[in-house]
Amino acid sequence: MRSALPIFAACCLSVLGTTLTAAEPPTRISFQRDVAPLFRSACIGCHSGPEAKGGLDLTNSHAALAKGDDGLRIVPGQPAASPLLDRLLDGSMPPRGKSPRPTVAQIDRVRRWIEQGATWPPQLTLSRYDMTTDRWAGRDWWSLQPIRRPTPPSMPDGPTAANPIDRFVQAKLAEQQLTVNPSVDRRSFLRRVTFDLLGLPPTPGQLENFLADRAPDAARRLVDRLLASPHYGERWGRHWLDVIGYTESDGFEHDKFRPYSWRYRDYVVNSFNSGLPYDQFVRQQLSGDVLPGRSRKSIAATGFLVSGEWDEVQHVGSSKSEMRRAREEELAEMIGTVSGTFLGLTVHCCRCHDHKFDPLPQVDYYRIRAIFDGVDHSRGSKPGNRSILSDAEAREIQQAKVPLIARQKTLNTELGKVRQRLPSEATLKAGSRPEKALVDGRHGKALNAAHTYATLPSKNSYHQPPLTVECWGLARTRNKFNVFVANNQKSSEHWELYSFTGKGDFTVYMPSYKPATIRSDVVITDGRWHYLAMQFDGKSVRLFVDGKQVRHQAVTRIRQPGPLGTLDLGAYSPEPVGCDGAVDDVRISNIIRPITQAAPKAFTADRHTVGLWNFDAVRSD
């Protein structure tokens, strides 16, 4: 019986078509008017995109009229040879329960469209979101249409309307056969409007004054006074803060307090109290830090983007994969807040798939995500962050800085003098003979690295950027590593200056960064003294030989900081790997020092010097 159904239905449609043809000329079918609505409502929910069911994509002419694995699904001019029409006729498509069943008239229009050549405008692409169905809202949904100012209904027989809004209310009441309640007494009106605007009851004095005021505009002036109250912004600003999920702590297990979140809260309260236009209110919260003429107020407004909960544990104390996952959760929360607040749509539902009910494809989520990818929820100091101090706070801080800056200059001068008087000391390798520890150097004496090396405890200041490391080094052979200076163990903040075995070129090794090995291609194993330097700003490394830059390399951290180790001069002590030569004048500084020429004199200390070794004497304890 099932196999006979398509033939029977086709016969019925054929008779119907013959009857109409006999009465009038055949009507030319318009794809956009007659066929596209059926495809949108009943078909492309399953038959669209790269994963279209059965490989049939009905969103564009090229895909729909192309040959599939089982041949053409639509054969222009041949309805009987078109499997698409067969599926509609036998009722197998659309599947029961998925979409409303097509009517006989709709199927007949598809048949005639195929019969007339299946013309499909090439520029016309269909989307499941084009029109609303009983399963999802389309772009034609009422809430997605442009706002238009309606004409207030006329109510000739109703009570006098105080404003156009009353006329809409009265029209709806009349439609429901309801009548307007009588006006409330003045006492009740005062309580209602005060609670509504301020969230507080009127005081006895306010009640007495209002009841005594019999002027015709008493109610209007009362409302104006309430709107001018600072409590108005506090009351109505809370509604906005509730919408965006404002919090004053992070949430999650640590739930850390946010000491500066009040700045955004006060921005919202003050915006309501000042009557800030809504378009400016929105614009400042989304991009107040980059707007022309930005102010501290508009910068504080961007607290809107990071006012929600934040999982500090996953962002700081977890693996890289968990940190990436936490970052995606952070962005999803941000997108959900923005879209829910301003669009009334749950765009974050599209993070994993097209929206099930609203006209939002998954690609839209990631387009919006790209916009907010530069917003960092972290409270840490970031390059580019802008101060949001008030004018009074900024002036107070600046005034307090004046005597401190003068005192700091004096202290820096004195500190430089102290460092010059107290050079850093290091311990020679156990078993070293003091009389062989020093040789003639570039400036006075130098450490005889071919015989011994020196070591001392490392410090954080020896590796934290900005950092400049300088030394004079001499190496005689290229068939081994010649280590001049090495800081910390390889598992922590390790760096070392050395010559690469085989070629003998000046090289820096930093295993906590990628790339770890940075080579200069300048050979220094020629038995002569060379002025060697490294600059490190946290993002890149520059190498210098005899005052000339010989390499600039961007680096990326790949390891977390580890425990402190030792600073080795003339070797890398854990291996040990030494140096067939000598080391003279090592200086470490906490700035990027300009390197313009070979240092003509011995290094001296200043306020930026964190370590200085001249190797002028060996002390026996």
Instruction: List the CATH number of the domain containing 448.
Output: 2.60.120.200
Long-range contacts of 16-20 (CB under 8 A, 24+ apart): 16/104, 16/108, 17/108, 17/111, 17/112
Same domain, 218 and 275: no
In this prediction, residues 96-117 reach a mean pLDDT of: 88
Instruction: Identify the pLDDT of residue 105.
Output: 93
Quick check: is 176 in a domain?
A: no
| Residue 378 pLDDT class (50, 70, 90 cuts) | low
495-499, strands of its sheet edge to edge: 427-428, 454-457, 566-569, 482-487, 495-499, 505-509, 517-523
Same domain, 247 and 214: no
Quick check: is 518 in a domain?
A: yes
The span from the CA of 495 to the CA of 555, in Å, is 13
| Residue 20 pLDDT class (50, 70, 90 cuts) | very low
Proportion of the chain above pLDDT 90, given as a percent: 42
Q: Would the pLDDT of 23 be above 60?
A: no
- The residues that bridge with 567 in the sheet, in sequence order, are 456, 487
Q: Would the pLDDT of 11 be above 50?
A: no
Same domain, 249 and 351: yes
Instruction: Identify the pLDDT of residue 589.
Output: 94
The last residue of a domain, from among 228, 250, 284: 228
Assign 586 to helix, strand or coil: strand
Give all strands (DSSP E) within 430-481, no chain letters.
438-440, 445-447, 454-457, 467-475
The last residue of a domain, from among 110, 131, 152: 131
| Residue 469 pLDDT class (50, 70, 90 cuts) | very high
Quick check: is 408 in a domain?
A: no
**pLDDT tens, position by position, 520-576:** 999 999 999 999 999 999 999 999 999 999 999 999 888 777 788 889 999 988 777
Tell me the residue type at 74.
I
Same domain, 118 and 207: no
In this prediction, residues 1-25 reach a mean pLDDT of: 38
Instruction: Identify the pLDDT of residue 206.
Output: 94
Same domain, 579 and 511: yes
Instruction: Identify the pLDDT of residue 131.
Output: 76
Same domain, 220 and 294: no
Instruction: Identify the pLDDT of residue 467.
Output: 96
> Is residue 116 within 8 Å of residue 31, measured between CB atoms?
no
Instruction: Identify the pLDDT of residue 113.
Output: 95
Q: Would the pLDDT of 391 be above 60?
A: yes
In this prediction, residues 104-121 reach a mean pLDDT of: 93
* Tokens of residue 492, six digits: 């922590």
Nearest to 359 by CA among 618, 130, 198, 517: 130
Instruction: Identify the pLDDT of residue 411.
Output: 80
In this prediction, residues 464-484 reach a mean pLDDT of: 94
Nearest to 113 by CA among 85, 72, 71, 83: 85
**pLDDT tens, position by position, 338-365:** 999 999 999 999 999 888 888 888 899 9
Same domain, 468 and 346: no
In this prediction, residues 495-522 reach a mean pLDDT of: 92
Instruction: Identify the pLDDT of residue 358.
Output: 86
Q: What residues make up the domain containing 323?
A: 233-372
The last residue of a domain, from among 343, 372, 401: 372
Proportion of the chain above pLDDT 70, given as a percent: 88
Taking the alpha carbons at both ends of the chain, their separation in whole angstroms is: 110
Instruction: Identify the pLDDT of residue 75.
Output: 92
Average predicted confidence (pLDDT) for the chain: 84
Instruction: Identify the pLDDT of residue 614.
Output: 84
Instruction: Identify the pLDDT of residue 318.
Output: 58
Encode 329-341 in three state secondary structure: HHHHHHHHHHHHH
Instruction: Identify the pLDDT of residue 12.
Output: 35
**pLDDT tens, position by position, 318-341:** 577 888 888 898 899 999 999 999
In this prediction, residues 101-122 reach a mean pLDDT of: 92
More confident residue, 232 or 376: 232
Quick check: is 406 in a domain?
A: no
Q: Would the pLDDT of 5 be above 80?
A: no
Residue written as token pair 């923005």: 338
Quick check: is 399 in a domain?
A: no
Instruction: Identify the pLDDT of residue 21.
Output: 42
Instruction: Identify the pLDDT of residue 431.
Output: 61
In this prediction, residues 482-497 reach a mean pLDDT of: 85
**Side-chain-side CA neighbours of residue 415 (13 Å):** 12
Q: Would the pLDDT of 498 be above 50?
A: yes
Phi, psi (rounded to 5 degrees) for 231: -70, -20
Quick check: is 184 in a domain?
A: no
**pLDDT tens, position by position, 238-286:** 999 999 999 888 787 777 888 888 999 999 999 999 999 999 999 999 9
Same domain, 13 and 118: yes
Instruction: Identify the pLDDT of residue 195.
Output: 97
Same domain, 313 and 452: no
Instruction: Write the burial class of residue 160 (CB in 10 Å: 0-12 exposed, 13-18 middle, 19+ buried).
Output: exposed
Same domain, 32 and 74: yes
Q: Would the pLDDT of 83 be above 80?
A: yes
Quick check: is 402 in a domain?
A: no
More confident residue, 608 or 27: 608
Quick check: is 158 in a domain?
A: no
Same domain, 58 and 112: yes
> Is residue 498 within 8 Å of residue 514, measured between CB atoms?
no
Q: Would the pLDDT of 159 be above 80?
A: no
Same domain, 73 and 203: no
**Number of domains comprising the chain:** 4
> Is residue 226 within 8 Å of residue 189, measured between CB atoms?
no
> Is residue 479 within 8 Å of residue 502, measured between CB atoms?
yes
Instruction: Identify the pLDDT of residue 6.
Output: 38
Q: Would the pLDDT of 17 be above 50?
A: no
**pLDDT tens, position by position, 178-230:** 988 888 999 999 999 999 999 999 999 999 999 999 999 999 999 999 999 99
